[in-house]
Structure 1
Amino acid sequence: MTELTPAQRRAFRAQAHHLHPVVSVAGNGLTPAVLKEIDNALQAHELIKIRVYGEDRSQRDAILNTVCSQLGAASVQHIGKTLVVWRGKMQIEEGARAPSDRPKPAPAKAKSAKALSARRGIASLNGTSAAKKPRWFPAPSKPSPRGSGS
């Protein structure tokens, strides 16, 4: 089980404040399938919230200790029925590919002059920054066609 310094724990609590629980432990308790889901969530997110449905606080403490000891995680917070757990990213095995190892998409092709002029206006081809100069003062209003007198 990993130990955190008080400063790290405070920082992780602040980060976890806006998170929603990603795993729920219900009536069957902490089964191997639930442990596998917690492991997958920790691998994907590092910092997760776990919702434990149960009235006994000592049972929730036992679940937290089991998760931390079996998965090599650190306990960040236990408040009510919500547990916050952190584990740093683990090294991926040689056979599996990391998400960062995915092939990069091909670079986009250069736009033609016609496409650029249609999108940005003719001014972009001439090197000026805008097609029209901005109006800083309102345009003078035109007189109404009805006239003012007769």
Structure 2
Amino acid sequence: MLTGKQKRYLRSLAHHLDPIFQVGKGGVNDHLITHIKEAIETRELMKISILNNNMDDRNEVAEEIAKRSDAQLVQLIGKTIVIYKQAEEKENRTIELPRK
């Protein structure tokens, strides 16, 4: 579980990032989750955008993506989701979180 200080730090790092994936009218599916899991292992922090043609509740979409990709939801602002997951391999770890 991330503390408020850690989330604030991750939001500052994510500010300049562009969304890598988009959730369209097909919603959250296994194919999307597989790609997110692969990408988050090397990046640790990423943005995902929800397109206007997606009619699902954006809060539910964000929660589902975070849960199914074993990541933590950092922020949901508008239709942009920011998620974080520490890389399992030490050489892929680039983000050092502030202490609690």
Normalised TM-score (structure 2): 0.81
Q: Percent identity?
A: 29
Alignment gaps of 5+ in structure 2: 93-100
Alignment gaps of 5+ in structure 1: 93-97, 100-150
- Tell me the distance in 2 between the aligned counterparts of 1:80 and 1:35: 21
Match of 1:28 among 26, 29, 35: 26
| Matching residue's letter, 1:87 | K
- Tell me the distance in 2 between the aligned counterparts of 1:55 and 1:13: 26
Cα distance per residue 1:73-104 (max 9 Å; x no partner): 11111000100000000249xxxxx78xxxxx
| Matching residue's letter, 1:52 | I
Q: CA deviation at 1:43?
A: 0.9
Q: Look up the match of 1:68.
A: 66
- Given that 1:25 and 1:50 are in contact with CA atoms closer than 8 Å, whether structure 2 keeps it comes out as yes
Alignment of 1:64-103 (within 5 A): 64-91=62-89
Q: CA deviation at 1:54?
A: 3.6
- Tell me the distance in 1 between the aligned counterparts of 2:56 and 2:3: 24
Q: CA deviation at 1:55?
A: 7.0
- Given that 2:25 and 2:53 are in contact with CA atoms closer than 8 Å, whether structure 1 keeps it comes out as no
Other structure's SS at 1:9 match: helix
Q: Look up the match of 2:16.
A: 18
Q: Look up the match of 1:131.
A: none
Q: CA deviation at 1:64?
A: 1.1
Cα distance per residue 1:36-80 (max 9 Å; x no partner): 111111111000000111477961111111112122211111000
The count of aligned residue pairs is 92
- Given that 2:26 and 2:54 are in contact with CA atoms closer than 8 Å, whether structure 1 keeps it comes out as no
| Matching residue's letter, 2:38 | N
Q: Specify which structure has the higher proportion of strand.
A: 2
Normalised TM-score (structure 1): 0.56
Residue 51, structure 1, aligned to residue 23, structure 2: no
- Which structure has more RCO (C-alpha within 8 Å, separation ≥ 6)? 2
**Computing the radius of gyration over CA atoms, which structure comes out larger, 1 or 2?**
1
